[in-house]
Amino acid sequence: MAKRIVLGLALVVLISGCSFSIPEGYRPKPSPMPTAGATQIAPKDRSKAIDFSGETLAGKNFQLNNVQGPIVLNAWASWCTECKDEWPVFVAAQEKYKDVTFVGLNEADDKNSALEFIAKFGDGWTHVFDPNQTIATANRILPGPYLPVTVVLDKQHRIAARIVGGASEAELTVILNTLTAE
């Protein structure tokens, strides 16, 4: 008898075309996949400066306006495969470009996982914890729910370049050479 009831319910669902609806709040908002790669922005076309504050993964307060000069701001997460792949690019660039500050923006991540990632892959820069992507979204850093994304800020903290997807050494070198020559 129970089998007939279950089969009957399954038949009703199939016949109705599975026409139940999921409330709008439970669906991710549609957003087009951004084009991967690097884009530079001419100084005259750069929008207003970015500023934010937050807590670092080390538990300290961070204020972007306290940083002088150009900034490489990399949005990453410990679970992101491309973030792992691009990490050595930032380590090498930080050693090469001493006048550029590197800042990580840890996105949609677990703090302990992020700390384990840093311990495993190494670094020498500050990482701001942004588990709900509030900072990244409010400051036009992320073009949607995609990681990794890197923005390079000029001396006035305006977005001068954006790299969607994993950053390559060649892309970052061209951007930083152009920016440091301004």
- Under the banding of pLDDT at 50, 70 and 90, the label for residue 4 is low
pTM of the complete model: 0.79
Ranges of each domain in the chain: 34-181
pLDDT value at 7 more than 50: no
167: which 2 tokens? 């950053």
Termini Cα distance of the chain: 79
User: For the chain, what is the mean pLDDT?
Assistant: 84
Q: Which CATH superfamily is domain 34-181 in?
A: Glutaredoxin (3.40.30.10)
At 104 the pLDDT is 96
At 137 the pLDDT is 86
Beta bridge partners of 56: 128
Specify the higher pLDDT residue, 3 or 100. Answer: 100
Specify the higher pLDDT residue, 15 or 139. Answer: 139
At 13 the pLDDT is 41
Specify the higher pLDDT residue, 11 or 165. Answer: 165
At 132 the pLDDT is 87
At 34 the pLDDT is 60
The Cα–Cα gap between 168 and 165 comes to 9
At 141 the pLDDT is 86
The region that residue 160 occupies, defined by phi over 0 for left and psi between -120 and 50 for alpha, beta otherwise, is alpha
138: which 2 tokens? 């409010």
pLDDT in tens, 33-86: 566 789 999 999 999 999 999 999 999 999 999 999 999 999 999 999 999 999
Query: What would the mean pLDDT of 151-157 be, rounded to a whole number?
Result: 96
Asked if 128 contacts 55 with a C-beta cutoff of 8 angstroms, the reply is yes
pLDDT value at 160 more than 50: yes
Query: What would the mean pLDDT of 15-24 be, rounded to a whole number?
Result: 40
